Amino acid sequence: GEQGLSLSGGQRQRLALARAVVGQPRFLVLDDPLSALDVHTETLVEAALRQVLEETTAVVVAHRPSTVMLADRVALLSEGRITAVGTHQELLRSNAEYAWLMSGAEPGPGPVTPDPVTTGPPAQQVPVEEGTR
């Protein structure tokens, strides 16, 4: 890496998050801020982030239930549209799709179900010809 330093994905993510919050911003936009962290480090960073978010307005794109639960309000996106807004508890009670996503259930055959808070087009499988691998 640069100047003989090589940072892991989790280290880069923690450094970027630290840079984002060190100036005590009034507003943050975070895109899956804990995605590259191991479970132990995620727990530590999540606790610190919870304190930062007490004084900061943030829009957080999240795929992990633990990250979603940091939010005061959650917007569920499906096919590019907001389909539900509420607290985590409100959505668990009132929205079957949100409850299913938060249960950690593995998707089975059938339609692709979007992530809570953000979504994108479903992944496409591309055939690979023999000898091109």
* Three-state DSSP class for residue 105: coil
The first and second tokens of residue 39, run together, are 């479970």
Helix crossing, 9-22 with 39-54: angle to 10°?
Answer: 10
pLDDT of residue 125: 45
- The answer to whether 25 touches 49, Cβ cutoff 8 Å, is no
pLDDT of residue 88: 92
- The answer to whether 49 touches 68, Cβ cutoff 8 Å, is no
Residue 38 resides in a domain: yes
Q: Which domain holds residue 20?
A: 2-102
pLDDT tens for the chain, 133 residues long, are 456 578 888 888 888 888 888 888 899 898 888 888 888 888 888 888 888 888 889 898 888 888 888 889 999 998 889 999 999 999 999 999 999 999 875 444 444 444 454 443 444 444 455 554 4
Residue 50 resides in a domain: yes
CATH of the domain at 52: 3.40.50.300
Please tell me the total count of domains within the chain: 1
Q: Tell me the C-alpha distance between 57 and 39, whole Å.
A: 25
Residue 107 resides in a domain: no
One-letter amino acid for residue 49 of the chain: L
Residue 8 resides in a domain: yes
